[in-house]
Chain A
Amino acid sequence: MATILTPEEKEANALHPDLLLVEKVKAGDLSAFEQLMRQYDRQIFRIALHITQNREDAEDIVQDTFFKAFQKVHQFQGNSKFYTWLVRIAVNESLMRLRKRRSQKTVSMDDEIQTEEGSIPRDFADWMPNPEQNYNQAELADILRKTIKGLPPGFRTVFALRDIDGLSTEETAQALGLSVPAVKSRLLRARLQLRERLSRYFRVPTGEHAS
């Protein structure tokens, strides 16, 4: 849905170098399109992978997202950043893949997540200093992947866009078709759940029984 922009936002958008490339793409310039791909493919891949947790799917999603963007480039009106528009396509493609893979379950951004597990902090142990240094790179990657995989898709998507990709809360809301308060509440719960789960690996050993 189009958002009404302030004159300042419009101006900031008008100066964005992507818009020049987009205009060229609208005129059929494929090298301009390739430039946009080079600029954003890695981010789109990362987002897709965070949502689907499947490398092959994520590669397909990168392809589908950019091809769709090319097909629909005339619909891009410049009332959001091009990248936010692209992310929105990628998120939709990713959710579609997820749905296909678990055809029995519906997956949507609007799914009300029932579980409160981890939303209320329970583990108050301090963490070791630089806890990630207690694991080698492969171990750490494994821990981080396993941990984020345990979150509902709607949560990890918000976390990936907002905290990893660095979109603002407003941009995240725009890309996901959610309200700002909804993004905020998901972000809080995603962060707290991740924290709770990572705590198992990173907490200062106390010699007490681990839960």
Chain B
Amino acid sequence: MNCTEFLANLTDYFDAKTATALRTELEQHMAGCSHCHVTVDTTRQTIEVYRNDELFELPESIRTQLHQAVLTKCENLKRKKEPKS
């Protein structure tokens, strides 16, 4: 296995979706190839650092505002649709 073939299987490798035989091959390549080893290691860290960071928080006050705005629109829509009783 060369580095290009290794990369082509990287997504499945991360998802633990590779068959055992292929997995062994990938791990063997990694053990002998420092480039691919570092690539896997740092890619894993990349995913983790993004996953752990609460980059984009929605403040509670804005949430309430948004909900209110949507509910008002829905209310109006409902009223238009329903015949008056």
- Which residues does A use to contact B, with CB under 8 Å? 28, 30, 33-34, 37-38, 41-42, 45-46, 49-50, 58-59, 62-63, 66-67, 70-71, 120-121, 124-127, 131-132, 140-141, 144-145, 148, 159, 163-164, 169, 184, 187-188, 191-192, 194-195, 198-199, 202
Contact = CB atoms under 8 A, between A and B. Distances in A.
Given A38-B67, A46-B56, A188 B7 contact: yes
B16 to A, nearest CB: 12
- Interface size class on chain B is 35 or more
Contacts, number: 110
A33 B71 contact: yes
Question: Which label, helix, strand, loop or mixed, suits the secondary structure of the B interface?
Answer: helix
Contacts of B53: 132, 140-141, 144
13 contacts: A41-B66, A45-B56, A59-B58, A62-B66, A63-B69, A67-B73, A71-B77, A124-B34, A124-B39, A132-B49, A192-B39, A195-B42, A195-B46
Nearest to A194: B46
* Cβ-closest 10 pairs across A and B: A45-B58, A195-B46, A49-B56, A46-B56, A124-B35, A66-B70, A195-B43, A121-B39, A188-B11, A70-B74
Interface of B: 7, 10-12, 15, 34-35, 38-39, 41-43, 45-47, 49-51, 53, 55-58, 62-63, 66-67, 69-71, 73-75, 77-78, 82
B51 A131 contact: no
Contacts of A38: 63, 67
A199 B58 contact: no
Contact of A199 (B42, B57, B63, B75): B42
Given A132-B49, A145-B55, A124 B66 contact: no
Nearest to B43: A195
Given A126-B38, A187-B11, A188-B7, A30 B51 contact: no
Contacts of B75: 30
Contact of B50 (A41, A62, A131, A194): A194
Question: Which label, helix, strand, loop or mixed, suits the secondary structure of the A interface?
Answer: helix
Given A28-B78, A33-B74, A187-B11, A144 B50 contact: yes
Nearest to B53: A144
A66 B58 CA distance: 15
Contacts of B41: 126-127
Contacts of A30: 71, 74-75, 78
Given A59-B62, A127-B41, 13 more contacts: A30-B74, A33-B71, A34-B71, A42-B57, A50-B56, A63-B70, A132-B53, A144-B53, A192-B43, A194-B46, A194-B50, A195-B42, A198-B49
